[in-house]
Amino acid sequence: MRRLYQAVQAAEGLEHDLLFPSESTKRRLIKTPGFVPFNNSLNQEQIRSVEMILGCEGAPPYVIYGPPGTGKTMTLVEAMLQIYATRKNDRILVCAASNSAADHVLEKLISNDDAKVKENQIFRLNASSRSYEDVHPDHIRFCYFDESIFKCPPLRALVQYRIIISTYMSSSLLYAEGVSSGHFSHIFLDESGQASEPESMVPIANFCSRETVIVLAGDPQQLGPVIYSKDAKAFGLGKSYLERLFECEPYRNGDEGFVIKLVRNYRCHAAILDLPSKLFYKGELLACKEDTSSSISSIVDFLPNKEFPVLFFGIQGFDERERNNPSWFNRIEASKVVEVINKLRASGDLDEADIGVITPYRQQVLKIKKVLENWELSDVKVGSVEQFQGQEREVIIVSTVRSTIKHNDFDRTYRLGFLSNPKRFNVAITRARSLLIIVGNPHIVSQDPCWEKLLWFCADNNSYKGCPLPERQSSACEEPIPKRNSISELENSCHSRVREWFQSLDEEVPQITQIVSDAAEGSGCRK
């Protein structure tokens, strides 16, 4: 916390136009010759991004706006390698929001055979609290430690490195060792949308001068920083520095001297990308994933439309909690999730590690994990949206959990679950490369504009299975969502058919249902 206070105080000494440029701010550029990419797969927007970074001469920040799967980190790495190879006196600081993300950047930098970054010129800074065993054995040689405890080397060693990689917070160790403002010619902030504004200020305020080139990469439409304090949220700390930059005219207007938007998505099937592109990115995203003749959707038997790899399973279950535990779970949905996983595995050519399950409640995560362990399917990752941000799987299964309308207001108030949280929705449905499966109550999710669009997107493409759909009250998915049926009407509709649906599910997959029931039996569950 002291590091954050120190960084915020240091930021007060920076010129306002350096942090938040106005419309009159002029981007200072230098003429640069064309460059030969180390990565031959870069697209037009990525190449232009690198050119602009090489052409920048100091503040204000340059932003790479990268929607899901568009290669933000790849673009940053190319820029770093170009600077390393052509500007021998430049020094680079790279910060990421997590240790795993920072390790990923390190791996990309050292694995490029053409650039050949020297081992004694790149350093991975770790906090002393990080476990030695947590670091990949191949990366240990780039770290500094004593008796398996990570440390920050002395200043005389730090200034010799040309590239230093750390998390946002750990970069404060450099300041404590005496690294001065202006030492780094370039500061790269990866996953900047996930860092709080004070966290972003740790590297910027401590090491930035007027001549320092600052580059942020991220997506303001995805999840922002995780803030637990209500007071902190009230004062705006839930909004990242990246998101605040887009309130400034040069970034909001898409001025090329300040920001470039990557639009080519190499992760998702076109059908998976279609809806988030329209909802969050003005329909600009281009699906560039290479099609394969043996796509997963073509070999999965239970897909009603094998040309459309987005499936909605309608489930009318029950919200449940254990005693005073605030987290929710839905055993019927958990049963369906495990059934789907077993069917996917039976289809062949799909490993456990290719499947991910996203659900917003910790108790649902634990219930599904326990059943998967009983089925010896522990390599299937199950987690929250936050745990999946920045990751991808061939198949993603989303369990929405909610089956009672009266609890929706609680979720909206405390920003829980999926409903009324567009960023969480966006991240959840853009993790899948080849197949996206939603397991949820259509009567409940249709209360949210984004989820309603997804529901009818599936129904219109003959890709809905399960309980009866709610009455459709909007003629097109782009139209505003009118008022729904009353709570009592919908809940009666949901609960009147729950037993019938559970009976059919029990007959279809008795073993799975029994295991899920056994897992929760005796835990004090209440409906």
Cα distances from 487 to residues 405, 447, 495, in angstroms, run: 7, 11, 12
Contacts of 502 (CB under 8 A, 6+ apart): 317, 332
Identify the CA nearest to 79 among candidates 61, 55, 110, 103: 55
Quick: pLDDT tens for 120-176. 999 999 999 999 999 999 999 999 999 999 999 999 999 999 999 999 999 999 999
Strands (E) located in 61-154: 62-65, 92-96, 122-124, 145-146, 149-150
Mean pLDDT of the chain: 86
Q: Residue 248: its pLDDT value, please?
A: 93
For 392, which DSSP code? -
Average pLDDT over residues 16-34: 70
The CATH class of the 2-262 domain is: alpha beta
Q: Residue 525: its pLDDT value, please?
A: 37
Question: What number does CATH give the domain 270-290+308-469+489-526?
Answer: 3.40.50.300
Quick: pLDDT tens for 396-447. 999 999 877 666 666 655 555 677 789 999 999 999 999 999 999 999 999 8
Place of tokens 């005219």: 249
Average pLDDT over residues 477-481: 42
pLDDT confidence band for 13 (50 / 70 / 90): confident
Cα distances from 133 to residues 138, 139, 141, 145, 399, in angstroms, run: 12, 11, 13, 12, 33
Cis peptide before 60 (omega within 30 of 0): yes
Rounded CA-CA distance 13/19 in Å is 11
| Cβ burial, residue 125 (10 Å; 0-12/13-18/19+) | buried
Same topology, domains 2-262 and 270-290+308-469+489-526? Answer is: yes
Q: Are strands 149-150 and 145-146 parallel, antiparallel or unpaired?
A: antiparallel
Rg (CA), the chain: 25
Q: Residue 522: its pLDDT value, please?
A: 35
The encoded tokens of residue 121 equal: 């010129």
Contacts of 180 (CB under 8 A, 6+ apart): 207
Rounded CA-CA distance 375/514 in Å is 12
Q: Residue 477: its pLDDT value, please?
A: 44
Reduced to 3 states, what is the DSSP secondary structure of residue 231? helix
Q: Is the Cβ–Cβ distance between 356 and 395 less than 8 Å?
A: yes
For 380, which DSSP code? S
| Cβ burial, residue 357 (10 Å; 0-12/13-18/19+) | buried
Strands (E) located in 168-299: 186-189, 213-218, 259-261, 264-265, 286-287
The encoded tokens of residue 213 equal: 């080139």
Determine the Cα angle at 515 with ends 511 and 518, to 5°: 135
pLDDT at 470 over 70: yes
**pTM score:** 0.84
Q: Which of 18-27, 265-274, 503-512 reaches the highest mean pLDDT? A: 265-274
Domain ranges in the chain? Answer: 2-262, 270-290+308-469+489-526
pLDDT confidence band for 199 (50 / 70 / 90): very high
Q: Residue 493: its pLDDT value, please?
A: 38
Phi, psi of 406 (to 5 degrees): -65, -20
pLDDT confidence band for 319 (50 / 70 / 90): confident
Torsion sign, CA atoms 245, 249, 255, 260? positive
pLDDT at 296 over 90: no
